[in-house]
């Protein structure tokens, strides 16, 4: 596999740089930052790690992002920018493993990471872990070598298990690990005040939490206007376009959206278009939800004006957001919800469930509308309010763009994280000490 050689080759440059930069490991065992986003459990966490990594590197951090290798075709190391790379460790089978089944491979992951450090003469003074699986890895590194640990949950078991019918076997372990990391990490990053509240009320009153939101690329999302975007996608300029972007997972509430559009007053106008973007090819693990949604679309006789274009790549995503009149996020719960700020950055108003981080990012009646989750009627009314009033739609869209640019850029997020790491590492320039005789 040539893994060790790769590690050693890169280590020469890294060792040279070690003295001039600050070094960090971002650990995301199941959320590979270099993988295609939008399918099979790859979503916001992958984007977060990749963008945080790149933005920290811009600030001079040497960033190594560790993930588990899931295919023999994947490269061991992906260089994103001179100071930022993804490193894939072989721990467990080299194939996709659903996250609920990933815990047993973590001890091996820790061993591989330690081996990598040894071979490259690197030791990470700070590790920023993502999702509960990685938090366990971070706690071992903290115990074994004193690395400082910062943790972002991305999803809380305590919240998730309240809304699912079947609790997985791993639940007890997950809840215990999530409590332990909150109480022992040097700092927890909550991406919204709502997430912070859940940690406090459902996980533990102990531990240190900073609220630092997620970000978005405000240059990329907002780079094209509606007219040009529609021309590119072959959508009529007078169409009324409702867009969903995200993974296919029952908790995303796509069924609510489909049923809401079915009740729209514009249902039979010949102008309505529903685009449900995301998901893998048929046969992949998220295919069951995709097939279920496609089945409902057909059953309701909506096939003529509904398209499921599959996973949308980074290059085309801004065009879809810009082409839409409204982007709908009907999730049952979202700790943050990157899609909301991507759509708003693109100048498209958002209708979202009034839950979690969406309450933090979407300002109801200003940048879009918040409605009760799973409420088909409320979503339908909200969709019609925006579709039937293009002037208001434009006002909401402009305010949304402004709101996102001022609050949710990756650069701003990296500035906050930089300050946080610097604080816990205590590597700020020391104050001169005045000695009196």
Binding site for ligand UDP (CB under 6 A): 37-38, 43-45, 47, 245-247, 277-278, 311-312, 317, 336-339, 342
Cα torsion through 309, 54, 213, 205, rounded to 10? 120
For the beta carbon of residue 90, count every other beta carbon within 10 angstroms.
17
Residues 6+ apart with CB under 8 A from 236: 230, 271
* Region for residue 261 given its phi and psi (left: phi exceeds 0; alpha: psi -120 to 50; beta: otherwise): alpha
Query: Token digits for 271?
Result: 């102008």
Q: For the CB of residue 140, give the shortest distance to ligand UDP in the complex, in Å.
A: 25
Among residues 24 and 341, whose Cβ is nearest to ligand UDP? 341
- Sheet of 326-329: strand order equals 306-310, 272-277, 240-245, 326-329, 350-353, 368-371
* Residue 235 contacts residue 272 (beta carbons within 8 Å): no
Distances from the Cα of 3 to the Cα of 11, 42, 74, 396, angstroms: 12, 24, 12, 51
CA distance 369 to 244: 15
Report the nearest approach of ligand UDP to the CB of residue 21 (Å): 28
> Can you say whether the dihedral through the CA atoms of 106, 107, 113, 116 is positive or negative?
negative
With respect to ligand UDP, which residue has the nearer C-beta, 76 or 331? 331
- Choose among 340, 335, 342: nearest CA to 351: 340
CB of 42 to ligand UDP, least distance (A): 7
CB of 31 to ligand UDP, least distance (A): 9
Whole-number minimum distance, CB 185 to ligand UDP, in Å?
21
Nearer to ligand UDP among residue 69 and residue 247 (C-beta)? 247
| Interatomic CA distance for residues 358 and 407, integer angstroms | 14
Contact 34, 45 (CB under 8 A): no
| 123-137 residues labelled b (16+ CB within 10 A) or e (exposed) | ebbbbbbbbbbbbbb
Q: Which of 108, 232 has the CB closer to ligand UDP? A: 232
Nearer CB in complex with ligand UDP: 38/222: 38
Residue 395 region by backbone torsions, left for phi larger than 0, else alpha for psi between -120 and 50, else beta: alpha
User: CB 36 → ligand UDP: shortest distance, Å?
Assistant: 8
DSSP assignment of 267-310 equals TTSS-EEEEEE----TTSTTHHHHHHHHHHHHHTT-GGGEEEEE
Q: How far is the CB of 362 from ligand UDP (least distance, A)?
A: 12
Give min distance, CB of 338 to ligand UDP, in A. 4
Nearest CB to ligand UDP, comparing residues 44 and 92: 44
Closer CB to ligand UDP, 160 or 267, in the complex:
160
**Collapsing DSSP states into helix, strand and coil, what is residue 421?**
helix
CB 312, min distance to ligand UDP, A: 4
Nearer to ligand UDP, 3 or 331 (CB): 331
Q: Which is nearer to ligand UDP, 39 or 148 (CB)?
A: 39
Least CB distance to ligand UDP at residue 311 (A)? 4
CB of 331 to ligand UDP, least distance (A): 8
Asked whether 380 and 261 are in contact (CB, 8 A), the reply is: yes
Q: How far is the CB of 395 from ligand UDP (least distance, A)?
A: 24
What is the residue whose two structure tokens read 């290798």? 69
**CB-wise, 18 or 284, nearer to ligand UDP?**
284
Neighbours of 271 (CB within 10 A): 13
Q: Please, which residue, 47 or 141, has the CB nearer to ligand UDP?
A: 47
Closest residue (Cβ) to ligand UDP? 43
Of 27 and 339, the one with the shorter C-beta distance to ligand UDP is 339
């Amino acid at each position: 596999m040539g893994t060790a050689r790769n590690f050693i080759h890169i280590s020469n440059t890294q060792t040279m740089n070690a003295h001039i930069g600050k070094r960090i490991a971002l650990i995301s065992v199941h959320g590979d930052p270099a993988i295609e986003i939008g399918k099979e459990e790859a979503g916001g966490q992958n984007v977060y790690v990749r963008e945080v990594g790149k933005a920290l590197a811009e600030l001079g951090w040497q960033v190594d992002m560790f993930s588990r290798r899931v295919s023999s075709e994947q490269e061991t190391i992906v260089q994103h920018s001179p100071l930022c790379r993804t490193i894939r460790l072989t721990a467990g089978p080299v194939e996709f493993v659903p996250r609920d089944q990933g815990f047993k491979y973590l001890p091996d992951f820790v061993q591989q990471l330690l081996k990598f450090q040894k071979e490259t003469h690197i030791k990470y003074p700070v590790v920023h872990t993502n999702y509960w699986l990685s938090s366990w890895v971070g706690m071992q590194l903290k115990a074994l070598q004193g690395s400082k640990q910062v943790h972002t949950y991305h999803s809380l078991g305590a919240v998730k298990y309240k809304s699912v019918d079947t609790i997985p076997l791993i639940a007890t372990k997950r809840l215990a690990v999530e409590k332990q990391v909150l109480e022992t990490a040097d700092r927890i990053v909550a991406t919204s005040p709502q997430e912070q509240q859940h940690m406090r009320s459902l996980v533990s009153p102990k531990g240190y939490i900073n609220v630092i939101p997620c970000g978005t690329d405000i240059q990329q999302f907002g780079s094209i206007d509606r007219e040009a975007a529609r021309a590119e996608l072959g959508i009529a300029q007078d169409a009324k376009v409702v867009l969903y972007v995200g993974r296919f997972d029952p908790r995303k509430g796509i069924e609510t959206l489909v049923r809401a559009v079915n009740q729209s007053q514009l249902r039979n106008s010949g102008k309505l278009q529903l685009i449900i973007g995301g998901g893998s090819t048929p046969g992949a693990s998220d295919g069951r939800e995709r097939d279920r949604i496609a089945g409902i679309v057909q059953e309701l006789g909506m096939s003529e004006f509904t398209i499921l274009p599959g996973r949308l790549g980074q290059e085309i995503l801004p065009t879809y957001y810009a082409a839409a009149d409204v982007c709908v996020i009907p999730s049952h719960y979202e700790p943050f919800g990157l899609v909301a700020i991507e759509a708003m950055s693109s100048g498209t108003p958002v209708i979202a469930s009034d839950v979690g981080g969406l309450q933090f990012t979407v300002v109801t009646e200003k940048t879009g509308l918040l409605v009760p989750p799973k409420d088909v009627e409320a979503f339908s009314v909200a969709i019609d309010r925006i579709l039937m009033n293009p002037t208001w739609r434009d006002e909401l869209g402009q305010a949304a763009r402004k709101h996102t640019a001022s609050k949710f850029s990756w650069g701003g997020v990296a500035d906050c994280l930089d300050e946080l790491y610097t604080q816990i590492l205590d590597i700020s320039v020391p104050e001169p000490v005045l000695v009196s005789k």
